Amino acid sequence: MDQYVVSARKYRPATFDSVVGQDHVTGTLKNAIRTNHVAQAFLFTGPRGVGKTTCARILARTVNCEDLGEDLVACGKCPPCKTFDEGHSMNIFELDAASNNSVEDIRTLITQVTIAPQVGTKKVYIIDEVHMLSSQAFNAFLKTLEEPPSYAIFILATTEKHKIIPTILSRCQVFDFRRIRLGDITGHLADIARKEHIEVEQQALHVIAQKADGGLRDALSIFDQLVSFSGNKLTYQDVVTNLNVLDHEHYFRVTDSIIRGDIPAALVEYNAILQQGFDGHLFVSGLARHFRDLLVSQDARTLPLLEVGQELTARYGDQAQRASRDLLVNGLDRLAHCDSQYKASKEPRLLVELTLIQMCRTMGTGDSKPENGASASAATDQKKSPDPSIAAEKAPEPAPAASPSVVSEPVEATVPIPHDVPSPKSNGVDERLNYVPKRRLAGQVSIKETAAAAAVETAPMVLQDEDGSGPASSREVNPALLLKIWRDYAMLQKKNGRDSLHATLLANEPKVSGPGRIAFTIVNKVQENYMREEKPELLGYIRRNLGDPGLELEVIQAEIKVKPRYTTLDKFKLMAEKNPALLVLREELDLDLG
């Protein structure tokens, strides 16, 4: 049986041109070698598995080659190249700083540096995971790193650059390795699969690249694992099954349910996901990524940001056309809140289900695009059409037949609104500015309407829905859900730098005062000013999240009991009532109450 070699070692790049996704590093190193401007100390930093140690070995082999060609590829025939390929080069030393991090290990290294190379022209020291060195070892290494012998080159590699002391950084040329893009990883895996005669689906390679999160070594390890499971044919379903990855079909079905406002379908789909053994937190993050992909699919300028396979691009474009931008942005906001609260929640499943319900109710009642090809104007006209009962109530009264001075055609009576009525906020929800009296016949004057128009300035603020109907609500309000929505709004204000408003909202808890009514208690003038300014936006936020456009909010001024201030004489009288002997003591000693 032949000895098995993992793909990460078998296909490790041997030249700068074969390094994947690090052109900015390899190009600089090749120019430095070509112009003989190779520094004596390098620091390679970046995520794991992106080619730091590989580039260090290629650099070490290239600078030691005695017959280097114009393409800067080592010949593989000279003594330094042969000893390197055989694994016993005397000019290239690798040190693992994770297990050799003491001062004594660095002193041994410094002693080796003083010996000139016997074969070749350079001695290269590769120190991996250099951030693991102790502070004493770093200090012992400083002088040698600053003034090494002419034949010595140090290459330091680390995944945690912030742990390297500044005195080391200032002595090195720093190269930042970046995460490898999905397309580069997918192409490299496809090339390896072709060399190994493995039939593989493109979508399967894309999922592997996503799972690797920019690390090529991780991608190769996952690839080997899946090939061991499936043999010479690797399918998308094999990858999804073995990597515990949620199939994108689930996200498409849940999103379709949200667009339709179909709460049962969304909950059933989420239950099916849980029954398959997937974590709810994984579903939340995956759905958020799906919404993000849909959002970037709506504009040709952001289409390159879509990181999915070619097979799914058309499908994302189709669903993105059926979902409005408001739906996707609001959905991302709700999913972000759910993601941040998931670990702290005692009922994580209920938290996710509540998020799906809110998304379906909000998106399905107006934020999403009309279905079945209905135009936006038709949907708007349908929304604005009056209720038959309301229309009947507002219908004009018939004119008396015995009154010849009354015109038979009804006209609209208008009452001027005072100029000092405050301007509405951006969302336009103040009912006082939308005052329209009932229709009257010409020549008729309503005393009630005239009085109502005159009292607009002093009337209490009653917020109404966006369409101006302001229907009274008779729904029961869930206190727990109300408190959560209230606190979410308070946290949004804190994130926006409005700490005083945040403190005002959390000073007391909102209470349910009846069907469709909530109350909030304030205790001082400052809180009253904040609530007067913020009430329209706050109530609009609560209405949207509860799905109750007729909800009303009442701000109550609490009675503050002020303790009386007692004088010295009052205090003495109170004490004397409890202990009359104090009066005798005062008279006998002729005491003064100062």
Supply the CATH number for residue 516's domain: 3.30.300
- Return the structure tokens found at 151: 């034949």
Q: Which of 242, 276, 291 is the last residue of a domain?
A: 242
Asked whether residue 297 is domain-assigned, the answer is yes
The answer to whether residues 59 and 157 belong to one domain is: yes
> 348-362 and 525-546 are packed helices; what angle lies between their axes, rounded to 10 degrees?
80
Q: Write the CATH number for 334.
A: 1.20.272.10
With beta carbons less than 8 A apart as the criterion, state whether 11 and 41 touch: no
pLDDT at 43: 92
199 beta partners: 233
Same domain, 88 and 163: yes
Residue 215 DSSP label: -
Q: In terms of domains, do 263 and 349 share one?
A: yes
Answer yes or no: are the C-beta atoms of 206 and 195 closer than 8 Å.
no
Query: How many other CB atoms are there within 10 angstroms of residue 407's CB atom?
Result: 11
Query: Do 445 and 552 belong to one domain?
Result: no
In this prediction, residue 442 carries a pLDDT of 40
319, 444: one domain: no
Answer whether residue 374 is part of any domain.
no
- CB-count exposure of residue 378 (10 Å: 0-12, 13-18, 19+): exposed
Residue 226, domain CATH: 1.10.8.60
142 in a structural domain: yes
Query: Of all helices (H) and strands (E), which one includes residue 234?
Result: strand 233-234
284 assigned to some structural domain: yes
Q: How far apart are CA 19 and CA 1, in angstroms?
A: 31
The count of structural domains within the chain is: 6
Classify residue 472: in a domain, yes or no. no
DSSP SS3 for 302: coil
Rounded to whole angstroms, how far apart are CA atoms 586 and 576? 10
Among candidates 351, 331, 319, 342, which has minimal Cα distance to 248?
319
- Residue of 271, 267, 305 whose CA lies nearest to 289: 305
Q: pLDDT value at position 177?
A: 92
564 three-state secondary structure? coil
In a shared domain, residues 535 and 432: no
Residues 446 and 330 in one domain: no
Residue for token pair 């101006």: 468
Domain boundary among 151, 176, 201: 176
In a domain, 548, yes or no: yes
* 73 and 220 housed in the same domain: no
* Intervals of the chain under pLDDT 50: 1, 366-470
pLDDT score of 84: 85
Please, are residues 232 and 338 in contact by the beta-carbon 8 Å criterion? Answer: no
Residue 124 near residue 94, CB atoms below 8 Å: no
Per the CB < 8 A criterion, the answer to whether 564 and 495 are in contact is no
Place of tokens 């997937």: 278
What pLDDT is attached to residue 562?
Answer: 57
The 3-class SS string of 33-81 reads HHCCCCCCEEEEECCCCCCHHHHHHHHHHHHHCCCCCCCCCCCCCCHHH
Q: Residues 38, 109: one domain?
A: yes
Last residue of a domain, one of 157, 176, 195: 176
Exposure string for 256-293, b = 16+ CB within 10 A, e = fewer? bbbbbbebebbbebbeebeeeebebeebbbbbbbbbbb
In a domain, 223, yes or no: yes
Q: Is residue 425 located within the same domain as residue 341?
A: no
pLDDT at 563: 60
Q: Which residues pair with 512 in a beta bridge?
A: 518
189 and 64 belong to one structural domain = no
Q: What is the distance between the alpha carbons of residues 291 and 298, in angstroms, rounded to a whole number?
A: 11
Q: Tell me the residue range of the domain where 90 lies.
A: 7-176
d(CA 335, CA 287) in angstroms, rounded, equals 8
Q: Is 300 contained in some domain? A: yes
Under 8 Å between Cβ of 424 and 535: no
The verdict on 52 and 124 lying in the same domain is yes
